[in-house]
Amino acid sequence: MIGRIALGGIATAVTAGVGYAIARRLTAPVGPRTFDLTVRGIEHDNDLVVLDRTDQTTADGIYNLWFEHGGWAQLSAEIVDRGPTRVARRITGTAPGLTPKVGDRASWSGIYYAAPGEAGLDAREITITTPAGPCPAWRIDGDPSTWAIHIHGLGSTRAGTLRGILAATDLGYTSLVVTYRNTEEGPRVGTGRSTLGHTETTDVDEAIGYAVRRGARQIVLFGWSMGAAIALQLTDRPRHEGLIAALVLDSPVLNWTEVIKTNCARSGIPAAAARLAIPWLTINPLARGVGLPGRIPLPAFDWTSRAAELTTPTLILHGTRDDSVPIRLSQALRAAHPNLVDLETFDAGHTLCWNTDPDRWREAVTAWLKSRVPR
């Protein structure tokens, strides 16, 4: 799942340094994709793929299967019953040359488009020079005065943000789809661990500089999960005052401590144990022992406490079934700033609002931006 903050697999380490174990797992370098689904059948001239019945494979909306041997298959919202243990989903598109076969291993994903061309976008590959090194990005040209910068989440890739770019292109914005350090596509720095948006913000800041040097007079930041935490940090930099016109945040991380507690509980670890991880993230010697370059200033990422400091118009899109980043954090920010923050809720899991209802997501974003961003 895109940006899902997985802490599974550490329950056995609870008695032997739970805080250290949680901090290590949370900041772990990007690992290989898990292919945990098996194609059980192919029907109707490769039109239907039969899979085991799970919460994912029976979820409403459109999704993608990524195959272990390479390639992908886009799936429609249609769900075809195949008995108590199986379900079929209709294939609407595949990677060139891909023919799914029985026995193929695959991974379920909300990353619907693998590249800009599949979303009908004319993009060019560019490189953003950052303190971490060269970071690849896609640029989709539009109005040179208004740019949208799209920031993916922890464990995801820039392809995950392609779902949101269509709303920006509807409005004529130039879009920049960025990466940052210690991701699948970005440069590796140090041990390859994530700093939960702290050092990554510096990399994305260079994308803002890139846009400004090319004529941007106002910028809209689209952030997904941890990408939303990065976007919020960028609004906090004085030199961007008057430049960042709006935020569009999907499933935003607004308080890391609460997010860690939620993920511990989901993994069968008492939520209170999450607090044991905080010193390992926020105290320099302990953070270095985890493999981080230094402490992470988690209070700076707590926008539930910093709500009064938010001055940028913000649209939040959040799923009511998000078991990774609790929606109550978004609801609290909305309640604290009803004239500045708008919240659209979906019956969806983490970063899957668009997948559940792409048309509604796109319409909500475009209508809100038309009302909030002057042209």
Q: Dump pLDDT digits (tens) for 153-176.
A: 999 999 999 999 999 999 999 999
The whole-angstrom distance between residue 373's C-alpha and the CA centroid of its chain comes to 23
Nearest one of 251, 132, 117 to 177, comparing CA atoms: 117
Query: Given this model, what pLDDT does residue 44 score?
Result: 83
Query: Given this model, what pLDDT does residue 198 score?
Result: 98
- Mean pLDDT value across residues 46-65: 96
Report the range of poorest mean pLDDT among 14-23, 80-89, 115-124, 296-305.
14-23
What distance in Å separates the CA atoms of residue 117 and residue 247, rounded to the nearest whole number? Answer: 25
Query: Given this model, what pLDDT does residue 8 score?
Result: 52
Query: pLDDT: is 265 or 272 the higher one?
Result: 265
Query: pLDDT: is 59 or 14 the higher one?
Result: 59
Per-chain mean pLDDT for the chain = 94
Q: pLDDT category, 269, cuts 50, 70, 90?
A: confident
Query: Given this model, what pLDDT does residue 9 score?
Result: 52
Query: Given this model, what pLDDT does residue 334 score?
Result: 98
Q: Cα angle at 78 between 353 and 59, to 5 degrees?
A: 40
H-helix or E-strand spanning residue 371: helix 358-372
Q: pLDDT category, 5, cuts 50, 70, 90?
A: low
Tell me: pLDDT of 10 over 80: no
Tell me: pLDDT of 89 over 80: yes
Q: pLDDT category, 1, cuts 50, 70, 90?
A: very low
Topology of domain 114-372 in CATH is Rossmann fold (3.40.50)
C-alpha to C-alpha distances, 60 to 4, 36, 352, 358, nearest whole angstrom: 18, 20, 10, 11
Q: What is the pTM of this model?
A: 0.94
